Chain A
Amino acid sequence: MADTHNGAIGAASTRVRKMDAAVTARLRGDTAFRVLMLALSFIAIVPLALILVYIVVRGASSINWAFLTQLPKPMGEAGGGISNAIVGTVILIVIASVISIPLGILAGIFLSERSQSRLGTVARLSVETLMGIPSIVIGIVAYTWIVKPMGHFSSLSGGVALAMIMLPVITLATEETLLLIPMTLREAALALGVSYPRMITRVILPSGMSGILTGVLLAVARGAGETAPLLFTAFGSPFMAANIFKPMESLPHTIFYYATSPYPEWQALAWGASFVLLVLVLALNVITKLVTSRWKIQF
C-alpha cells in the first residue's frame, strides 16, 4: 500500500534517507550530551565536597577539650580555645530566638489565616522582601537602632540583627505548614463549639508543629552562620561573654578574625572553629530531616 501516501514518493524517500543517515550522529550527540551533564555536575559538587572533607579532617584534629573550654590566647602564643565564641553564639541565638520565634509564628499564623485581605498581601510581600535583604544591611539597621544610641557595641544589638534575619524564615515556614492543613480540620473543631483562639492554638498549631519546628531549626542554622550583621553590632571580644550590653564574640566572627590574621596559631583556631560551626549547621539540618520524617502529620 505504498501508493497510499500522497505527495511525491521519490522526494519523500530521499528526505527519509537523509534523516536516517543522521541518526547515528544524533545518538552519539545524545550520549555526548549526557556525559557533558554528568561532567558539569561533577565539577559543581565534587570539588566543594572534597574541600569540606578536608576542613572536617583538619579541623577535627584541633578539637580537644582545651579547645572547647579555653579562651583564646594573645597573639603569638600557642594553644587557646574558642569557648567565648561558642558561648557567644549560643547567647546571640537565644536573644534572637526570644524576639523572632513568637513574632514569627504569630505572623505566620496571620498570613495563613488572612492571606486574602489587603493587609495579608502587604504583610506577605514584606516578609518575602525581608527574606531577601542582604544581611550586612540588616547589620547597619541594628547599628542605627541600638549601637548608635547606646554608644558602644553590644550583643543585644547583635541578637536583634539576627532576629531580623531569622524572622522571615520562621514566618514563611509557619505559613507554609499551616496552609497545608485542610480546611475540614478547622471546620470540625469549630463545629464542636471550640472557640477560634482555641481552635488555632489547640488544634491547628499542634498539627503543624513539625513544620514550624523545622522552620525554627533552619532559621537557627542560618542565624548561627551569619557574620556580616555582627561586624558592627556584637563586634567581637577576646573575653568570655557575660553582659548583653557589651561586645561579644561569636563562632562565625572568630573564623573571620582568625582566618584573615597572619598568625598560623590563630589560623589553626579558625580551622577548629570552622569544624565546630559546620558540625552545628549540619546537625541542625539533620535534626530537621528527622523531625520532618518522624513527626510530620500527613493529611
Chain B
Amino acid sequence: MEDSVLTNGKTILETRALVAGFDGKDIVKSVSLAVPEGRITAVMGPSGCGKTTFMRCINRMHELAANAQVSGEVLLDGEDVYRINPILLRRRIGMVFQRPNPFPTMSIYENVVAGYNLNGARMSRVERDRIVEETLRRVTLWDEVKDALYRRGTFLSGGQQQRLCIARALAMKPEILLLDEPTSALDPKATAAIEELVVSLKGVVTIIQVTHNIPQAARISDYTAFIHLGELVEFGPTKTLFTVPKDKRTEEYLSGKFG
C-alpha cells in the first residue's frame, strides 16, 4: 500500500485514514491521500471498489444516506471538513454526477445560477447575467445556447446537459470540482468534448475525477489514485503510475486482468 505522496505543488485536500461505509460494513478502508492543488487527479478502480463513496465523503454527501458511517479526517486547506458547516463546505466543493441532471423545472439560465438561487443570494440582474455568460463560455456552451437561455434545458443533448451541469457547479467558483464518472452516460463525441473541457480547467480549479475508464484516466489526469477493495493501492503522477506501477495489483488492473 502506497503512502500519500506529495510531488510538486501545494496540497489542497488531504484525507487521513478515512473509513466509510453503510450499516456497519466498511466500503472505504482507511484511505490517506493528498490531492495537489490546481491539477487533475483521477481516482480509478474496478466497480464497487469504493471510489465513489470516497469522493462523496469529501463534500459530505455520503452522510446523507441512511445508516452511513464515516471516520477519519478530511482536510480542506488544513481545515477539517467535518467541523465546517456542510452548506458552506458544499459551496467550496462542486459536484457533477454520472448522469446529467439539470433541474427540469428551471431554464438554462436559472440552472447556471441555481447554486446562488438555492442559497438565497441576492444579486443584481447584471451580475447574474455576467456569471451566466462567463460560465457558459468557460464550458463552451455559450454560443450554442445564448439564444435559448430562457428555455428549459431538457432539449439539450446529453453532452450539452452535462456541460450545463459542470457550468452549474463552476458558477459557484468552487475550490475543488468533484466529477463522478461524468462521461459514462455519454456517447464518444460528447465524451471527447467533456474531456477537453476538463483539461482546460486545469489551474482554474482542482479536479478530482472518479473513473473506471482506464484510457480516460491516462489521457486527462496529472495524478492518479488506484483504489481496490476500499484500499488506496497506489498514488502518483499519472505517467509514472501507468508506465512503471509500483504495486502488482496496479499492474494487473491496468493490463485488464480484473475490472
Tell me if A's interface is mostly helix, strand, loop or mixed. helix
Contact with A23, one of B37, B88, B130, B134 (Cβ below 8 angstroms): B88
| Smallest CB gap from A22: residue in B | B120
CB distance from A16 to the nearest CB of B (A): 8
Binds A, one of B43-51, B121-129, B210-218, B222-230: B121-129
A23 and B87 in contact, given A1-B38, A7-B130 (Cβ under 8 angstroms) = yes
The residues of B that contact A20 with a CB separation of less than 8 Å are 88
Contact with A19, one of B37, B121, B131 (Cβ below 8 angstroms): B121
Contact with A15, one of B87, B123, B203 (Cβ below 8 angstroms): B123
State A156–B134 Cα separation when bound (angstroms).
77
| A4→B120 contact, CB < 8 A | no
| A5→B88 contact, CB < 8 A | no
State A23–B84 Cα separation when bound (angstroms).
12
CB distance from B137 to the nearest CB of A (A): 10
| Smallest CB gap from A4: residue in B | B204
Within 8 Å of chain B (Cβ to Cβ): is A27? yes
Within 8 Å of chain A (Cβ to Cβ): is B173? yes
CB distance from A14 to the nearest CB of B (A): 11
| A7→B121 contact, CB < 8 A | no
Q: How many residues of A contact B (CB 8 A)?
A: 16
| B127→A4 contact, CB < 8 A | no
| Smallest CB gap from A12: residue in B | B173
Interface-centre pick from B37, B116, B173 (highest chain A CB count, 10 A): B173
| B122→A23 contact, CB < 8 A | no
Contact with B along A9-41 (1 / 0, CB 8 A): 001100110111011001100000000000000
A5 and B173 in contact, given A18-B121, A19-B121 (Cβ under 8 angstroms) = yes
The residues of B that contact A19 with a CB separation of less than 8 Å are 91, 116, 119-121
| Smallest CB gap from A26: residue in B | B120
The residues of A that contact B130 with a CB separation of less than 8 Å are 7
State A287–B89 Cα separation when bound (angstroms).
51
A26 and B87 in contact, given A11-B127, A18-B122 (Cβ under 8 angstroms) = yes
Q: How many residues of B contact A (CB 8 A)?
A: 20
CB distance from A34 to the nearest CB of B (A): 15
Within 8 Å of chain A (Cβ to Cβ): is B205? yes
| Smallest CB gap from B38: residue in A | A1
The residues of B that contact A298 with a CB separation of less than 8 Å are none
| Smallest CB gap from B123: residue in A | A15
The residues of B that contact A18 with a CB separation of less than 8 Å are 121-122
State A5–B119 Cα separation when bound (angstroms).
20
The residues of A that contact B87 with a CB separation of less than 8 Å are 23, 26-27
Known: A7-B173, A23-B85, A23-B87. 20 other contacts (CB 8 A): A1-B37, A1-B203, A4-B204, A4-B205, A5-B173, A5-B204, A7-B130, A7-B134, A11-B127, A15-B123, A15-B127, A18-B121, A18-B122, A19-B116, A19-B121, A20-B88, A22-B120, A26-B119, A26-B120, A27-B87
Give the interface of B toward A (CB within 8 A).
Answer: 37-38, 85, 87-88, 91, 116, 119-123, 127, 130-131, 134, 173, 203-205
User: What are the 9 tightest A-B residue pairs by CB atom distance, in nearest-first order?
Assistant: A19-B121, A4-B204, A5-B173, A19-B119, A1-B38, A23-B87, A22-B120, A4-B203, A1-B37
Complex A-B: 19 CB contacts under 8 Å = A1-B203, A4-B38, A4-B204, A4-B205, A6-B134, A7-B130, A7-B131, A7-B134, A16-B91, A18-B121, A19-B116, A19-B119, A20-B88, A22-B119, A23-B85, A23-B87, A23-B88, A26-B87, A27-B87
